[in-house]
Amino acid sequence: MINKTVKNAELAINGIQDGMTLMLGGFGLCGIPENCIDELVKAGIKGLTCISNNAGVDDFGLGLLLKNHQIKKMISSYVGENEEFERQLLSGELEVDLIPQGTLAERLRAGGAGIPAFFTPAGYGTEIQQGKEVREFNGKMYLLESWLKADYAIVKAWKGDALGNLIYRETARNFNPMMAMAGKITIAEVEELVPVGSLDPDQIHTPGIFIQRIFQGVNYEKRIEQKTVRKRV
């Protein structure tokens, strides 16, 4: 049995260097690897290409890396909740590859499955089409999209064991499972690290074969992006 546990986020990110490509799980602020992001900020690693659905908010999540100008390029599907992201994009400080959300998910899945390219109708007839091969299937036009892979994938799960088996909870089961498969090295931070054998095999979302390092995170803020409440009548 290979024990893949490390003590903390600082040890988990060991080996990540300037200029590398990282995948970071999460949807909005749900299911993001908060501890590892904080350590990347502290380490001051720069020139990163980050693949993530979005870039957090201005003062939380990937927004912290953006604020420090540690990210050179964002590959993502959504900009809207981060003013600094928008500012750097419009000013030309940040290179951004905006991808339709479903295409992003499928490119990640393809990277993990070893599928170098696939055709999708999403983006045909828009700026997304520029520079891409177009082919017709059954009277409909499709774009050729390539897989996404990364030097490191950093994911967040609800529970995990020393073998790296992971269970995600609700919305946190978003881009995390696909990213876990598509990194050369995958780091998992979990809310609860449980003994090997205590997870129901039928409930495991990411098998441990895809995970190289795992640790139990601390002090999760789990911030809500936008909170809307109804006025009391």
Domains and CATH numbers, the chain: 9-119+147-216 (3.40.1080.10)
Residue whose pair of structure tokens reads 């024990």 in the numeric block: 3
What residue ranges of the chain have pLDDT lower than 70? none
pLDDT digit string, tens, across residues 89-121: 889 999 999 999 999 999 999 999 999 999 999
Q: Supply the pLDDT for residue 121.
A: 97
Q: Supply the pLDDT for residue 82.
A: 84
What pTM was computed for the model?
Answer: 0.92
